[in-house]
Amino acid sequence: MLDLTKLPKPAIGPTSAVAAYDAHAVDVVEEAVRNVDVSGWRILIVLPKMKERSDGGIHIDPALLEKEKLAACMGYVAKVGSDAYMDKRKFPNGPWCKEGDWVLFKSYSGTRIQSRVTGIELRIINDDTVEGVISDITKYTRV
């Protein structure tokens, strides 16, 4: 079960996975990932929902929001495949992330899918695509 209750709400950029979707956010995110099992060395990432208004209250163009989602480089680790980080030669110091972490990955990487039920965008990336773990996503935005 996902523990999304501890996720921070970013002040700038995307909102957290919990704050993004309404009062039932945990159920909504769980529904989005429930039927997706990642295989091998893959990692399932939940992309946070982008803010639809600027800090000044101006609506952000949907085309720009789509471009920002495409270029997303931060996400929440929802599931880790059974073979992820098992190669001791490639990962001598152990896993680079775990379920429940916010991670950095290269923009445009992975396989993009969207839940038809919840509208939440997910990304499946390889274990070696993770570039870092973010302890507080409120302090960072993509540039």
Number of structural domains the chain divides into: 1
Q: Taking every pair of C-alpha atoms in the chain, what is the biggest distance, in angstroms?
A: 50
68 falls in which pLDDT band (50, 70, 90)?
confident
**CA 32/CA 29 separation, integer angstroms:** 5
Give the range of the structural domain holding residue 103, as residue numbers without chain letter. 25-139
* Of residues 40, 31, 23, 42, the one with CA closest to residue 2: 31
**CA 36/CA 79 separation, integer angstroms:** 9
CATH of the domain at 131: 2.30.33.40
Task: Identify the DSSP state of 60.
Answer: P
71-125 pLDDT, tens per residue?
889 999 999 999 999 999 999 999 999 998 999 999 999 999 999 988 888 999 9
Flag whether 19 is in a domain.
no
pLDDT at position 41 is 97
Flag whether 13 is in a domain.
no
Flag whether 105 is in a domain.
yes
42-62 pLDDT, tens per residue?
999 998 877 777 778 888 888
* Of residues 104, 107, 123, the one with CA closest to residue 71: 107
Flag whether 14 is in a domain.
no
**CA 51/CA 59 separation, integer angstroms:** 9
Please, is 32 exposed, middle or buried when counting C-beta atoms within 10 Å of its C-beta (0-12, 13-18, 19+)?
buried
